[in-house]
Amino acid sequence: MRRRSGGDGGATIREVKTDLFGWLTERAQAHPEAPALLASGRRTLSYAGLAAFVSRLAGALTADGYERRDRMAIVIPAGPEAATAFLATSSFAVAAPLNPSLREEDFEFYLSDLRIKGLLTHDPSHPSAQAARNLGIRVHLVRPLTQEGAGMFELDSLSPSEDGFRIRREPSETALLLHTSGTTARPKIVPLTQANLLASARNVAASLQLAPADRCLNIMPLFHIHGLVASLLASLHAGGSVVCAPVFQAPRFFDWMREFLPTWYTAVPTMHQSILARAAKERNGILDRPLRFLRSCSAPLAPALLAQLEDCFEAPVIEAYGMTEAAHQIASNPLPPRAHKPGTVGLPTGPEVAIMDENGRLLEPGMEGEIVIRGDNVTPGYLDNPAANQQAFRDGWFRTGDLGAFDQDGYLRITGRLKEMINHGGEKIAPREVDEALLHHPAVAQAVAFAIPDPRLGEDVGAAVVLKDGMQVSAADLRRFAADHLADFKIPSEIVFVPDIPKGPTGKVQRIGLAERLGIRGRQERDRGPARPPFEPPATETEKLLAALWSEVLRVEAVGVTEDFLSLGGDSLLAAQLAARIRSRLNVELRIVDLLDASTVRGQAQRIERARSENSTEPDEAGSRALP
């Protein structure tokens, strides 16, 4: 047996409408009052209400001059408006959701690269809005209608039309555009058609045996294919409901569980780890209504973490495998009573999956090679990139770049990868982008970014740097420099200075395995190093509050002012949580790179006091001194 066709966990796959609005209308007609979207503090939006809103918004945009092939960028924080904006724009035109945490220069690149015609965003001062104005792109501000159903909004003065608008799309028309990182600095654009999204939603719903009674607690961002398809579209495809949570916060997870009583959730391993750590403090109410299952995708899940999650929630954990080019899911472990095998990504779930050798020959079970796929959910090809398509497709198969093998039962195990991209907690980072940011520094002659193993993130970002003759710069200075050119999660956590970049036998830099060759230990190894320093208690009010915030974020007791954030288990994601708490509690804005460089409570307190001092000397609009 050389290939595996898509299994579906025992459910029957049935063809549905060939456009997104068609199947949404079908469900609204069959069950108009059934709940579709939910959110804290908002009324439930029914299927009839959701279909009507999508139709009216499409009508308003059409009347305002937008056409079905126009590309609409969406930059909205997680929540119900992000969901409805995606559903409306992908049904009517072409949706292009972007990460709200990007910088203005990033937005200028993505908006230009995607040839965006209109931007939907939440804040007129957001970097995306400024970037759009710089490029002459129309900006529409999303104003939530908080007294209406979850996700209802108006766009500035452009309110949804009262008359319904019949949306007609062909299966082959593009519905969604997403960028994906590869080994080059310039990301590729992945177009996904109406048929791609429907096929993937159908496949996920079938593999998880989703039904109208199921409710998904969505904690994934809705600019990522995981959240868009697995959480949102698959749930709606099955007639179920989706809880649209705000930006993920582990302390609030169990509050959402108790408020909405979901039957499942899906997340990346770093989120599962945060939830599991929080569960120790949630002695009451975790299992008020047991979950039917948990799902993990977008990064490898350690078997030990899987077992701990199953023990905590008393529910199966379903590990799946997906990628943007497949409109998300490729394979998934099945639900009980069928066996799910920890360490594998399960059985194919819709697309054909095969193992191919370097000569294009399909291999038998047990033999390792590159994982290749084909099917209704697979992108027709990268947009305007014939060179990438020539490399990515072979004899009708899409090359995933991952290495793997089937066992005798048809379960797929991923054994490695050919691609050099860094998987940072589910976020894919092109190492060349990091290279180029570092190479802009006047002291840097050569720079190579690579993956560092990390027990929480899966992989973190490292970089090897060769300095120019006679030049000197510290790793902290380079990180601060990179922070002006890269999103926070792309900044290297470790920078090592070397006289020469290690190369392979052909003279080519080999990023894969470079951390090991340079002797860089992952955080798990560093954590086995020296014991915590002697405890020195916080003295100032700022130090006391910071120590308390560290305890919340890192889940450790009695933090001393000289202890190191990274040594206590911190990373860039936890630093982002700490920065948010500092902003909320102290009204001080610190960059994540500042928190990582000033990596003790004492150092961070000094930066906060310095920031307060600088703010207090800046005149406000009336010419007086601004209060800290």
* Closest to 446 measured CA to CA, from 463, 421, 422: 463
Express each pLDDT in 171-190 by its tens digit.
Answer: 999 999 999 865 455 789 99
Mean pLDDT of 384-407: 94
CATH fold group of domain 422-526: GMP Synthetase; Chain A, domain 3 (3.30.300)
Q: Which of 249, 228, 210, 92 is nearest to 161 (CA)?
A: 92
Supply the pLDDT for residue 6.
56
Mean pLDDT along residues 530-558: 82
Classify 304 as helix, strand or coil: helix
State yes or no: pLDDT of 393 exceeds 80: yes
Angle at 594 between CA 592 and CA 597, to 5 degrees: 110
**Average pLDDT over every residue of 609-626:** 54
Residue 508 scores a pLDDT above 70: no
Mean pLDDT of 585-590: 82
Nearest to 101 by CA among 84, 79, 76, 130: 76
Asked whether 463 and 494 are in contact (CB, 8 A), the reply is yes
Report whether pLDDT(338) > 60: yes
Query: What pLDDT is recorded for position 335?
Result: 97
In terms of Cα–Cα distance, which of 179, 234, 164, 168 is closest to 11?
Answer: 234
- Which band of pLDDT confidence, cut at 50, 70 and 90, is reported for residue 81? very high
pLDDT of residue 621 exceeding 70, the answer is no
Q: What is the pLDDT of residue 515?
A: 86
Cα–Cα distance for residue pair 451/153, rounded to 1 Å: 41
> In degrees to the nearest 10, what's the CA dihedral of 98, 422, 486, 325?
-20
Greatest mean pLDDT among 55-69, 277-291, 363-377, 608-622:
363-377
Model pLDDT, residue 488: 82
Does domain 541-616 match CATH 3.40.50.2000? no
- For β-strands 444-454 and 494-497, DSSP reports them as unpaired
Q: What is the mean pLDDT of residues 516-537?
A: 66
- Amino acid found at 596: L
Q: 3-class SS at 227?
A: helix
For 308, phi and psi rounded to 5 degrees?
A: -65, -40
Is the per-residue pLDDT at 533 higher than 80?
A: no
pLDDT band with cut points at 50, 70 and 90 for residue 531: low
Q: How confident is the model at residue 14 (pLDDT cuts 50, 70, 90)?
A: very low
pLDDT tens digits, one per residue of 397-409: 999 999 899 999 9
- Specify the domain boundaries for CATH 3.30.300.30 within the chain: 422-526
For the cut 70, the answer to whether the pLDDT of residue 524 exceeds it is: no
Q: Supply the DSSP symbol for 443.
A: T
Q: Helix, strand, coil proportions of the chain in percent (round to 5)? A: 35, 20, 45
pLDDT in tens, 110-155: 999 999 999 999 999 999 999 999 999 999 999 999 999 999 999 8
Rounded to two decimals, what is the model's pTM?
0.74
Confidence tier at 106 by pLDDT (50, 70, 90): very high
Q: Which pLDDT band, with edges at 50, 70 and 90, does 505 fall under? A: very low
Q: What percent of the chain has pLDDT over 70?
A: 88
pLDDT at 332: 98
Q: How many CB atoms lie within 10 A of CB 600?
A: 21
Q: Please, what is the average pLDDT of the chain?
A: 86
Residue 522: the pLDDT is 58
Coil vs helix vs strand at 310: helix
Average pLDDT over residues 225-236: 97
Nearest residue to 576 (alpha-carbon basis) of 270, 281, 302 = 270
Distance (Å, rounded) from C-alpha 78 to C-alpha 248?
8
| CA-based nearest residue to 68, from 86, 92, 95 | 92
For the residues 163-177, what does the mean pLDDT come to? 84
The predicted pLDDT at position 136 comes to 97
Look at residue 618 and tell me whether its pLDDT is greater than 60. Answer: no
pLDDT on residue 521: 66
| Residues carrying CATH 1.10.1200.10, the chain | 541-616
Specify which of 249-258, 349-358, 444-453, 551-560 reaches the highest per-range mean pLDDT: 349-358
Q: What is the mean pLDDT of residues 211-220?
A: 97
